[in-house]
Structure 1
């Protein structure tokens, strides 16, 4: 397995249960767009970098078969507990899925393509896709829409995370990340796709203070710092947690996840 794949897989070690409990479920909308662009119900869909399977389960009864591919053993172990007829999970990576040539009608990367080296990943995706197949990346904008005061504290917390990632060598060297803003360019410039575009949409879910705190804690950047040197971020995290609890208390409220979907038709 490539070194960048191993680094990024290790980044997601140790908090798969938290991740699975708080992260957003894949909305149905991307599924509908992919089916519309295909012109039919897909036979096989590949969820590449599937994590704990949150983005895989939406395909149940919406294709004949969906396969989640994940390099992290922790994430994969949680995902495999969700296997049912037509939904399977296996270990693999963006450069080595283990799937046959031209075997998938659609490949989707949900919150995962920025952890993949684009050129080699798109080469593997092209190999796996059938002619006329669809590739899509689906990414959240963080934080979700909730309360401006909480969103401001969230931004302050993750500004600090980014600062630490740039200045602390042990943190900086623990991952390799490509900017999400480059996804559309990478898909288009690969030359594999006849049509490429970006689609923006949102999805609403219920939330409470503890889930919102969990969403922040489920971010790989924050987790990496907590593993390497918790003292670098503990006070900032505590301030954020106090703010969330002060604003929301025990209430249940709506949050809106903003999504950006970059899509290519082979």
Structure 2
């Protein structure tokens, strides 16, 4: 309670373009599942921690109005640029627990790849305030790396073992960002007692990929970016080795990857 979460927003400064180019699109399955639980067409969908709007724009053809909430100026700038021409989609620079929106006005609240950067208690309180009776709250995350090739996945995991080592060695003492475990998402939602029904759902979504996108997925991770922005040279040989191995494994081929999702969904 009372954390200054601007430090979390600042963690995502400086690589919004890269993030937007590599991260997975919001799966249609997300809409299908949420609409099943909603039982009707939404008038207002709010996407908290919306980043570059990848998880916001998907609602533009379903809901009368869609609002993305994002505190990072870099991310929200890209979100607005990418949403030009979608008259029913707007973005607000705000935090998830202080949106400034009207009480009992929202049908659906979503958080894609972002709930672990939010205070769960205050965010759930704000979501309870915003949601209409029968409204749906849905948090969903995909696991890294995507399913594709065991050798490439091995190289990805090896790189991030080094990322974790370097963060502990150089950045842990000065670490100011605050992160909540994804493993506690379901229990945090249940313990809030704001919802009549809560469950977890797992599914996957297939997208096309190539070696460069696979490499950029790694580069879009906040931990690696923090090391790069801190000019810590110790990561360079590992990053160069990773890029070379991925290019060796995939060459110029395009291939399918499966992003594996975990959704925690709740009905008010």
TM over 0.5: yes
Shift of 1:163: 2.3
Equivalence for 1:183 = 185
Contact 1:171–1:228 under 8 Å retained in 2:
no
1:17 deviates by 0.5
Aligned match for 1:234, one of 225, 233, 236 = 236
| Within-5 A mapping of 1:1-266 | 3-81=3-81, 82-83=83-84, 84-169=86-171, 173-266=175-268
Give the distance between the partners of 1:172 and 1:27, measured in 2 at CA.
36
Give the number of aligned pairs: 265
Partners of 1:241 and 1:29 in 2: how far apart?
A: 32
Could you tell me the TM-score, scaled by structure 1's length?
Answer: 0.96
**SS at 2:55 equivalent:** coil
Q: Does the residue aligned with 1:193 lie in a helix, a strand or coil? A: coil
**Runs of 4+ residues over 3 Å off in structure 1:** 169-172
Q: State the 1:72 CA deviation.
A: 0.1
Instruction: Provide the secondary structure at the position in 1 that maps to 2:143.
Output: strand
**Cα drift, residue 156 of structure 1:** 0.8
Instruction: Give 1:48 shift.
Output: 0.2
Please provide the CA RMSD for this pair.
1.3
TM-score (norm 2): 0.96
Greater Cα offset, 40-49 or 225-234: 225-234
Match of 2:100, SS state, is coil
Residues 4 and 53 (structure 1), Cα distance of their counterparts in 2 relative to 1, 3 Å cut = same
Listed as ranges, the gaps of 5+ residues in structure 2 are none
Alignment CA distance shift 1:244-1:99 (3 Å)? same
For residues 172 and 156 of structure 1, the distance between their equivalents in structure 2, rounded to whole angstroms, comes to 24
Q: Cα offset for 1:161?
A: 1.5
Compared with structure 1, are the counterparts of its residues 171 and 228 closer, same or farther at alpha carbon in structure 2 (3 Å cutoff)?
Answer: farther
CA distance in 1, matches of 2:174, 2:47: 28
CA distance in 2, matches of 1:137, 1:205: 21
**Distance across 1 between alignment mates of 2:216 and 2:141:** 18
